[in-house]
Amino acid sequence: MNKLKPYMGYSRGGGSVEGAILIFAHNIKEAKRIAWPVLSQIITDEYTDMAVTYLKDSGYLFDQMPKWSKAKLESNTPHVVDNPPICIDCEMWGCGVLDENGRCEDCAEQVRFDEEFMKKEMAKPDTEKEVDSGK
Ligand SMILES: [Zn+2]
């Protein structure tokens, strides 16, 4: 059976950072057809400005969807998700699996890095800290 595939719809001119919707459809033609009524209201008013791209390696998106969307996926019904779950830090979606804190992989790594840095900073002997604070 021809399964639904994830697509991202956004403004060609503004780029996906300006806002993007998630579309589940069987092919790009169908994705564009169902994306347009939504995109034309919130992102762009020119049909030629609409960009729809296939999101490859994004099987994780299927797991992240709210219940109503999952039900449509199960019944193989094409649909648009205009507010997919986003990362709490960068507020983007489609950038990978969200961890239990709601962060994407990039942001989770950033947080781990910052924590490591702070730990090292705190572990420094007092003499070094005095130099750092300019006393
Ligand atoms: Zn993020």
**pLDDT tens digits along 39-62:** 999 888 899 999 999 999 888 899
How much distance in Å is there from the Cα of 125 to the middle of ligand 1? 34
Please give the pLDDT value at position 7.
96
pTM for the whole thing?
0.80
Please give the pLDDT value at position 87.
93
* Element of type H or E holding 97: none
- Domain definitions of the chain by residue range: 5-81, 86-125
How much distance in Å is there from the Cα of 103 to the middle of ligand 1? 5
How much distance in Å is there from the Cα of 97 to the middle of ligand 1? 10
Residue 75 φ/ψ, nearest 5 degrees? -90, 5
The secondary structure of the chain in percent helix, strand, coil, rounded to multiples of 5, reads 45, 15, 40
Please give the pLDDT value at position 35.
97
Kindly report, residue by residue over 12-35, the tens digit of the pLDDT.
999 988 889 999 999 999 999 999
Please give the pLDDT value at position 122.
92
